[in-house]
Structure formats: structure tokens, C-alpha cells
Structure 1
Amino acid sequence: MRREIHLFAGFSRNILYSLSFQITQRFASSSSTISPTNLETLCSNGHLTYALADMAKIGLQMDLQAYDTVLNECIKQKSVRGGQRVQAHMIKTQYKQPLYLGTRFLVLYSKCDCLREARQVFDEMPDKNVVSWTAMMSAYSKRSYGSEALDLLLQMLRSGSKPNEYTFATVLTCCTGICGLEYGRQVHSLIIKSNYESQLYVGCSLLDMYAKSGAIHEARFVFEDLPERDVVSWTAIISGYAQLGLDEDALELFRRLLREGMTLNYVTYASVLTAVSGLAAYEMGKQIHSHVIRSEVPFYVVLQNSLIDTYTKCGQLTYARKVFDKMPERTVISWNAMLVGYSKHGMAKELTELFEVMKKDKKVKPDKVTYLAILSGCSHGEMENKGLEFFDEMNEKDGVVPDIEHYGCVVDLLGRAGQVEKAFDFIKKMPIEPNAAIWGSLLGACLVHSNVEIGEIAGQRILEIEPENPGNYVILSNLFASRGRWDDVRNIRNLMEEKAVAKDPGKSWIEIDQTLHTFHAGDHLHPDINKVYDKMNELLVKLKEYGYSPDVSRVLYDVDDEQKEKILLGHSEKLALAYGLICSPEGKTIRIMKNLRVCVDCHSFAKVVSQVCGREVFMRDKNRFHHIVDGICSCGDYW
């Protein structure tokens, strides 16, 4: 085998012969005439110890059925010692072990994580069939020894044995990730040559393999080519799209699935809720929740966790908390989902209160994700002292060793509080090398608090570490632009062109009547874009009467203020907000999602719109949630 495997204490021939000697003594000295049929009664009642004792007394009368009965109970109870006694009994009685029982031993040892012993049984089998080959491959696959499973497939083919649908499905689970994808394609070719491509079980495994490897187009091709589809295949393709962030495609497939009238399971609902949360499609999320209740699907923890995650990402913390409070049992993922929700919304008070409840409950121990939520929430909730206390106690009280992400939260916490110099000193004293994210947090703080000196140092370091990230150039440009250093802004822009780095275009979504509408920065492609710009101009006049003044200080173009105002009006979140005012009834809440951070001017614009138009506005960017009511945002203008 290629690598050392940490295994359960194994057996050797010496142990087996020792056991066989003990067995000989038992049934040689016994005059009992116990029937093999008694073993079935003992095993059916879970009395493995008595069954093994009677096996020793039965001696040569043990047959295939009797051995199989005892072995099945050993597998059920995961008794390695019991399996060793059965194997020793066969050796002593010179029972010629049939292929079927050899495979059962293989299953027992692999189920008990004794891969070395399983492989020894497999190698000593005089004959092997497709079941034994597949069982050994499955043992490797389940413990992430993919290369060993693939090697076995090659050996199987060379031996002349032909794989079946279960063999192919097992091997495909080993072909994930970038490296595994090429092996998966080769296995796919072999499946086609073996005429198994239309077999549903193999087809589901194929599309799952492609989806998990990021090859979603190939997964979709396999899916569409299936002669029939079940809920497993539908769930696999929907999950594949959702995990890759292709949420609109996932939802479209889900609608198609509903039209076909297929019965769904909890995994399907959990997968589609991932897509809903990615788009913050609140109305769709509510409908799916209702569908789950009507279909009477069991409310497993994973489904409840998905509902909490969906509601928090749609800005509905009240609904998320209702689901959380009704859970009969909670895992650490359940607690983390709720804590992250409060953290992302900047609700530091509710966050710390729930964390205290979690610690008092003592059923679940906080983990690294828990502390990331706590530290981030304190950072965005103006609770820097409390956050520093939590950072100090995470290792001392809960034994959670800080990762680079936790150190990054502390830098962000200090930076947002205006303690830029202290954050810089903290970075210098860190026991691990700071990464791009940490320097980015410091650079962002320098932009907010106009510390150009430290900002230039942070900018230089971050461009050295992560020269391909356009966001770094943008923040540094903004920092220079805030001081009117246009030559430096042009230098940054030239550097971006030299390195072929392009800024990610701003994009926002809004859901109207269960349809997602997408707007890009400076959009001219939406069918109603002329109405949107007319609405924007109308709004601008009203908002200026209420004191709104466009913040043109960070527009990275050396043009006059009037031109800068036009650039600001083309921001995607403003366009989505205007469209929401046009298409939704008066008083209805407007929910917007953006792929980038909401800019300061768009945040101010949305606050005044909520005040002038009497609307609640939910804006979710890539980092935060903003719930704006009557001109006041839940973030407290601290994000």
C-alpha cells in the first residue's frame, strides 16, 4: 500500500491459531450436541458471545448458513474479536471457506476500520468476483483512500473481471477535485464502453462526481442524457449548481422538478434552500418552507439548519429565531447559523446574549466558527473591548486555538474602532504570518479613518501577496482619491492594466413577483431601464430636498462633480432600488442583494429613500446586511 494507515489492532496467523486451539479444547471437552439452528435464535436476540461459545461446541457440524449467521451478527455489532474467532474456527476445522464468506469477512473488517486486515483477507482469497472487488474498493473509498481504490480497479480489469454498476458508482466517489476529475473522465469512458451509461445508479454517481469537481456543464450533460430521473439525480444536479453559486440555475431546475410532480426529500429541500439563501430570495424561501410543511417531510436537523441560514441571509432574523427555538435538538452548526446571522446584521447585543445561552446550555461546545461569528459581530457592533475579551478566553476557557481568520477579526475590530496604529502593532506581534485578508482589513480601516501613511504600507504588502485581486487596487485608489492624489490614482490604474487586473463589475438583484431582476453598474440592457433612470432623476430631486448630497469624493475619475454624480446614479444597487419602487406596491419592503460591498453613497441614498418613500429597505452585500427603516440602518452606519 502507498501510505501508512492508522488501523485498529489487527490479527496475525499466530493469534488465529491460538484462538483455534482454545476452540478445539472447548468442543473436544464438550459432549453437548448443540444444533447449528440454535445459533440463529441467539444471534437474532443479539447474544453474540453465547453464539460464539456454541459455535466452538458444535465443531465440525458448522456449515455455510451457520457461519453466515454468526458473521452477520459480528458485522452488526462491529465485533472484530468475534470475526477472528469465526476465522480461527474455520482454520481448525479445516473448513474450506467459500468466496461468499470471504467477502463477508472483508465487509466486517472494513466496517471496523481494519483496512489492513480487510486487504489481507482480500489478497488471500483464491478466487475473487465482482462483489469482493467492489467491497474492497468501497472500503478504501469510504476512508478517502481514492488512489488505492483506483489501483484496485486497474487490477480488476487486468484480471479479466468485469465491473458492474456498483463497482463504477463506488470508484466514481474517489474521483473528486481537480486531480480526480481526469480519472473520473477516464472511468466515464470505461462506463460507456461497458454500456452502463444509461443505468440510473451509475448516472447519478457520474453527475455527482462532475458537480463536486466543479465541472457543472458535464454534470448537466449527464443529467439531461439520463433515460429516467429520480429524486436523487435531481437533488445531485440542483446541489451542484447551488454549491458553485449558480443559484438562479439551481432554482430554475427546482421549478422544473416541481412541474414534473416528483416527491421530494429533505436533502432536495436543503439543497434548494442553499440557492435561495445565495440570492436572498425571501418570497421563494417562504414558499419552500410552506412546501416542506405541507409535504410532511421529516424536519431533520440539516433541513432546520438550512432554514435558519436562509432566513438570516434574507434578513428575516425573527423567522430564523423561531425555527431555532423550536428545534428539539441543536448541533453546533445550528448555533453557529443563528450566531452568524446576528453577527452579519451587526446585532452584537443579541449575538452575545445567545452566545451566553450556548455556554450555559453546555450540550454543545463552541468551535472556531462560533468564535469567528462572535469576534466579527463585536467588530461590527462597536464592542471592541468585549471582542478582545472573547479573543483572550477562546483558547484559555474553550481550548479553541486561534486561526489566521480570528487574528483577522481582531485587526478588523481595532481598525473599525479607529485604533489603526494599535491594529498595525497587533499585526507585527502576531505569531503567524499575516495574509492578504489581514492587510486588507488594515487597508480598509486606513481608508475609513484617512490614515494614508499606514495605508500605503498595508497597500504595498497586500499587492505583493495578492496582486491578482482587483479589490485591493480599488481600496488603495480610493485612499489616494480621498486625499486628491490623482497622480497616485492613475498609477494604480496603470498598474492594474499592466497586470491585466480588472475590477469586478457591480451587480445587484431584486426579486419582483418571484422573478429575479439583475442590474449592472451603468446598466442599459434591462428592458425597463429607461423607466428606471426616469425614476432615479425624479428621486434625486426629492432626496436633495431632504438633505441628500451625493458623495463624489471617492469616484475614481478626475472629472467634474456633475459627471461624478451621473456615475454614482448608475450604481447597480440604486438601479435595483428604483426598480423596486416602480414595480412593488406602496409600503412593501424592498430587498436587494449586491455582489460587492455597498458603497457609502448608495447606503446614504437608501436611507433617505426609506424616509421619503416610507419603505423598509433590506440591502445585503457580500459581507453585511443593512435593514433600513425610516432613514435609520441596523448597522448604525458602522460597517
Structure 2
Amino acid sequence: MSLLSSSLAIRRPLYLWNLMIRDSTNHGFFTQTLNIYSSMAHSGVHGNNFTYPLLLKACANLASIQHGIVFHGHVLKLGFQEDTFVQTALVDMYSKCFHVASARLVFDEMPKRSVISWNAMVSAYACGSSMDQALSLLKEMWVLGFEPTASTFVSILSGYSNLDSFKFHLQGKSIHCCLIKLGIVYTEVSLANSLMGMYAQFCIMDEARKVFDLMDEKSIISWTTMIGGYVKIGHAVEAFGLFNQMQRQIVGIDFVVFLNLISGCIQVGEFLLASSVHSLVLKCGCEEVDSIENLLITMYTKCGNLTFARRIFDLIIVKTILSWTSMIAGYAHSGHPVEALDLFRRMVKTDIRPNGATLATVLSACADLGSLSMGQEIEEYVFLNGLESEQQVQTSLIHMYSKCGSIKKAREVFERVRDKDLTVWTSMINSYAIHGMGNDAINLFHKMTTEDGIIPDAIVYTSVLLACSHSGLVDDGLKYFKRMQNDFGIAPTVEHCTCLIDLLGRVGQLDLALDAIQGMPLAVQAQAWVPFLSACRLHGNVELAELATVKLSEISPGSSGSYVLMANLYTSLGKWKEAHMMRSMIDGKGLVKECGWSQVEVSGSSHAITTGNRSQAGL
């Protein structure tokens, strides 16, 4: 029987082999395609100009450059150098295997080219984000009389998906103008989708919406692109409004839509909205997609419902490292470091090994808990598992040691980092800042900018200003506040402004601090009055403190903090009647004074001490 089969295989004509190769390729069985060709070659049958494009397509989808080079050799041996169809397939294969230079060599040697050939080469450059070369080829194609098609522009617009510079934004708008002149913007849904995707990448959602509204036919990708674009720029309300329109259009919903909607819920942080989206996820049967499960955990933690987040986590049968990290981060970022550490201990008893993100989150929990002993255990684990070179872990170790009071250990970790990026420098500068070591912070900042040539950002400047504030370095603080804007074009944030007010307030320059606050936007003033009021209490300035209290009560009527500070100021000055009046206002307005609490580690165990309560709760 085997001899008969072998005999039949030998006598099988080329067209039957081609049919088998075509069917396996069209059904996505690319490895099988290569195996069929191997059997065909062993039977002594050579391929033709129908065979090799299919084989090269299989190589492109498998990203198998080795097989592609072999088939290129066969093409040359059999004399298909002048076959445009085969040569175009070679260009596409080299492009999909990330050998753009080889694709260009094949393209340049083609005696005849079709529009598809030009499109393949343009796509090769665009996929490699070589947009200047792609546009140059587009112009050359046009000059030589090959009119670009919708596919040409889809390739170019898709190339902008990983780019965000202003230069490329202008190029993208030029392409849009070109499409309008050619009158092909809406000839294909894929072209309009790519155009919207380009604008969404550059966060220009007004232009994307214009394209969307003018589309006669919309696909699921059209809706998903717009919803995702709105979520990206933080406009969750517009995203959900568009989703409601989408449902009325009776468009099928896929899991990508839910990824965007859940991300929107994470931004908004509203539980009712989150639970509604979760209900839709369950209704559509997408709840068991890994990426959705993990986002649901994050969504509920952002909405302040750790119970629901934990319920989803516990229901996941096969937990990945991302599942564990999402739940641990949920606890850590919601002020539950003990639960975060407990879950981490449970995780390391499984077969799952933590990655850098997991360890960074756990170290953050140790920092919040002030647990130096646990932090040191994590560092030992880091070294035992060869993760000490990951900068995310190193940065978290610096932060943890600093928050746990060991600035010396923080500096040791910092010195071990070989290629320090801005985040590592910022972490160490901030460590000096919170320990009141202003000169050390400034010296390190100077070393970072001058010796290492690292360009500072708004975050590191916050740490520098905080260092100046905690150390009373007024002149330095004012100097850096100006340099930040003049030398690096960094606009002051709320954090920068509050640091400035705190800096001036600590040294008693209250009038100057008041002038600075009054020159700030109202949104910033709401935060800046708080350190100003504290400074008034520190220096016993009742008049300015009363002004600050009035301003705070107008801006934040639901906060009791300003009344408490004012009452304490009156008490410190012996004005008991006024102090009693302030405390009565807290009760009269129905405000709640939050209890102060501290944590202390004793013999490896953490304990919380709450003011107003003599009991100590063991953690």
C-alpha cells in the first residue's frame, strides 16, 4: 500500500500540488504549506509562478526568513526574475520578515513593476516606521505614472501608529489633504479607519471625529478606533456616548471595545458605570479573555471596590503573573499594603515567578508599610532570582529604603545601577528631599544634568523644589523654579506651586507667598492655600490664616482640614473662644475630622496606632 501511495505521489501533476498548497495557505496552515512543498520537491516536481507567491506568503506569515531565502534561490534557479507576481511576493516576504534592505534590492532589480509592487515596498518602509522613505517612494511612484490606490495610503497611514512627533503629525495631515484631492477618502472603510487611527495616535480627536461622522459605512474597527481614541486622551464621557450610539446601530461588539470601555471606567472611577460595563462583558461572553479579566480587577480597585476585584481574581482558574500583579497592585495602591504582601507570599508558593513589575509593586507596599525587614527580604529574593539589574526594581528599592528611613541603603542601591535613567536619578533625589538633605539633592541634580547630560522633567523638578523647601533653601528654590520654565520650558504644575508656597512659608515670607498664590490659576490655588495656612500657624499670623481659611472654605467647602488648622492656631495663641468656635463650625457643617494614624515595625511585625483610640491594631 505504501509503495502504491509513493507511486501516486511521484505521478501527481503540478496543478494538484498547487491546489494543495493554495488550500493550506488560504486556511492559514502555513507550516503545512512548507511541508507540502518539501514533499513536492522530493517527488521531483518544480514549482511555477503560481506556487512561489503562495510559499513566500507562508514564509511572510511565519516570519521565516530562512525558508524565504531558500525559495528565493529556487526562484532565481528557475528563472522567475522577470515575473512581476513572484518578485512582488519576494518584496512582501522580506518586508514581513523585517529585512527591508533585502526587499529594496529585489524591488530595484525588478524589470517590470505593478502598482501592487510599489505598494509592497511602500508598506515595507511604513511598517518599519521609515516614513520619510515611504513618502519619497510614493512621490517617485506618482511621477512614473503609477497612481496610488487606497491600499497605498492605508499602508502609509498605518505607519504612523507608533509615531507621535509634531513632524509626523504634519505629514499625516498632508496625506489627508492628498486623499481629499483624489476623492478616495471614503472609497474604502479601511482607508477611513486608518486615517482616524492616525489622528487618534496624535490625539487629534476633533479631526478623527470629522472623518468618522462623514463615513457612510462604519465597521466595528471604526467604532473601536474612535472609542479608544477618546479614552486615550482622557475623554471617557465621549467614549461612552459613542458606545451608546454604537449599540443603537446594532454593531457587533468584540473584546477590543470592552478593553477600551474598561480603561474608560478606570479613568472615571465610578462603580455603577463599571458594574454596567462588567454586565455587558458577561452578557457577550468575553469575561474569560485574560486581558479583560486583569483590567476588570484594576477597574474595580480604581472604583474603590476591592471585594469585587478579589472576587474576579479568585474566579480566575489559571492565574497568570499579570493576574497576580493586578490584584497585588490593587491592594497596594488602595492603601492596603498588608493584604498586598500577604497575596505576594501566597503567589511565591505557586509555580508563578514574579517579574519586575510585581516586585516593584510589592516594594511599594513595603514602603507604605514602613517594613524594612520585609523590604530586605524582597531584595534578597531579587538577588536570588537574578532580577537586580532591572531598573524598575532598582528604583523601587531606592524608594523603599528611603521611606523606611535607611537613606544609606538607598544610596548603595543607587550606586549599583550602571546605566541610570531619569527615573533612577529622580528616585534618589526625592529620597534626599524627604529626608531634609537639600544640599545632597541639589548636588545630585547638578551631577545628573551636567555630568550625565540627562534632561530633567517636571517630576524631578518637583523633588528638587521639595528638597529646597524641606531644607529652607529659598534662593535655590526660587532659582530652580525659574530655570525650570526658562531653560526647559516646563510649565509649573500644582505640585511645583505648592512646593514654592511651602518653601516661602517655612521661612516666614508670607506676603511673598500670598502674592504668588494670588497669581496662580484657581485650580492651583485650591492646593496652594493648604501649605500657606500651615505656614501661618507656624509663624502665628492670625490675620493671614483667617484669610486662607475663608478662601479654602470657598474652594473646598467639604474639607475640615482648614478649620482644624485654624482651631489649632487659635489654641496655640490662647484664643480659646475662637478655637471653640472653629470646632463648632466643623460639627455644624457636618464635617468629619479624619483620625491621624502611624505605623511602627516591632520585631518584624507592623502595628498601626490611631489617635483618639488607645488600642493598637496588629497588622
> Structure 1-normalised TM-score?
0.67
Which of 211, 229, 234 lines up with 1:245 in the alignment? 234
SS in 2 for 1:387: helix
Q: Greater CA deviation, 180-189 or 421-430?
A: 421-430
Question: What's the CA shift for 1:425?
Answer: 6.9
- Which whole-Å CA distance do the structure 2 matches of 1:78 and 1:475 have between them? 51
| Distance 1:323-1:129 versus aligned 2 partners, 3 A rule | farther
- Which whole-Å CA distance do the structure 1 matches of 2:146 and 2:467 have between them? 63
- Which whole-Å CA distance do the structure 2 matches of 1:241 and 1:379 have between them? 35
CA contact (8 A) 1:489 1:556 kept: no
Which of 25, 34, 40 lines up with 1:54 in the alignment? 40
In the alignment, which residue of structure 1 is the partner of 2:85?
100
- Which whole-Å CA distance do the structure 1 matches of 2:193 and 2:457 have between them? 40
Question: What's the CA shift for 1:270?
Answer: 0.8
In the alignment, which residue of structure 1 is the partner of 2:577?
none
- Which whole-Å CA distance do the structure 2 matches of 1:171 and 1:353 have between them? 50
- Which whole-Å CA distance do the structure 1 matches of 2:225 and 2:80 have between them? 46
| Distance 1:97-1:355 versus aligned 2 partners, 3 A rule | farther
In the alignment, which residue of structure 2 is the partner of 1:624?
none
In the alignment, which residue of structure 2 is the partner of 1:161?
146
In the alignment, which residue of structure 1 is the partner of 2:508?
none
Which of 441, 446, 453 lines up with 1:458 in the alignment? 441
Q: Which runs of 5+ in 1 are unaligned?
A: 1-29, 507-518, 524-549, 578-604, 618-629
| Distance 1:96-1:271 versus aligned 2 partners, 3 A rule | same
Q: Which runs of 5+ in 2 are unaligned?
A: 1-7, 25-31, 450-455, 486-490, 497-521, 562-582, 596-609
Which of 267, 270, 283 lines up with 2:259 in the alignment? 270
CA contact (8 A) 2:359 2:393 kept: yes
| Distance 1:478-1:164 versus aligned 2 partners, 3 A rule | same
CA contact (8 A) 1:110 1:139 kept: yes
CA contact (8 A) 2:84 2:112 kept: yes
In the alignment, which residue of structure 2 is the partner of 1:305?
294
Deviations 1:326-347 (A, max 9, x none): 3354544333322221221233
Question: What's the CA shift for 1:168?
Answer: 0.7
Which of 17, 21, 26 lines up with 1:39 in the alignment? 17
- Which whole-Å CA distance do the structure 2 matches of 1:278 and 1:90 have between them? 55
| Distance 1:321-1:156 versus aligned 2 partners, 3 A rule | farther
In the alignment, which residue of structure 1 is the partner of 2:510?
none
In the alignment, which residue of structure 1 is the partner of 2:180?
192
Aligned residues: 514
Q: What amino acid is aligned across from residue 470 of structure 2 in structure 1?
A: L
Question: What's the CA shift for 1:440?
Answer: 5.3
- Percent identity, aligned pairs only, is 23
Question: What's the CA shift for 1:284?
Answer: 0.9
SS in 2 for 1:170: helix
CA contact (8 A) 2:410 2:428 kept: no
CA contact (8 A) 1:207 1:237 kept: yes
- Which whole-Å CA distance do the structure 1 matches of 2:113 and 2:376 have between them? 62
Q: What amino acid is aligned across from residue 384 of structure 1 in structure 2?
A: L
Correspondences of 1:168-207 after superposition (within 5 Å): 168-175=153-160, 176-178=163-165, 179-199=167-187, 200-207=189-196
Matched, 1:416 2:411: no
Which of 486, 493, 504 lines up with 2:494 in the alignment? 504
| Distance 1:39-1:504 versus aligned 2 partners, 3 A rule | same
Q: Greater CA deviation, 456-465 or 175-184?
A: 456-465
Which of 532, 540, 550 lines up with 1:566 in the alignment? 550
Correspondences of 1:156-555 after superposition (within 5 Å): 156-175=141-160, 176-178=163-165, 179-199=167-187, 200-297=189-286, 299-363=288-352, 365-403=353-391, 405-420=392-407, 423=410, 435=422, 437-439=426-428, 441-442=430-431, 445-446=434-435, 451=436, 454-455=437-438, 457-458=440-441, 466=456, 471-472=462-463, 475=466, 479=470, 496=481, 502-504=492-494, 552-554=533-535
Q: What amino acid is aligned across from residue 54 of structure 1 in structure 2?
A: M
Q: What amino acid is aligned across from residue 371 of structure 2 in structure 1?
A: M
Question: What's the CA shift for 1:57?
Answer: 5.3
In the alignment, which residue of structure 1 is the partner of 2:107?
122
| Distance 1:557-1:262 versus aligned 2 partners, 3 A rule | farther
Q: Greater CA deviation, 436-445 or 122-131?
A: 436-445
| Distance 1:96-1:398 versus aligned 2 partners, 3 A rule | closer
SS in 2 for 1:118: helix
Q: What amino acid is aligned across from residue 222 of structure 1 in structure 2?
A: V
- Which whole-Å CA distance do the structure 1 matches of 2:465 and 2:284 have between them? 49
CA contact (8 A) 2:56 2:89 kept: yes
CA contact (8 A) 1:379 1:416 kept: yes
- Which whole-Å CA distance do the structure 2 matches of 1:434 and 1:298 have between them? 38
- Which whole-Å CA distance do the structure 1 matches of 2:119 and 2:195 have between them? 17
Question: What's the CA shift for 1:427?
Answer: 5.2
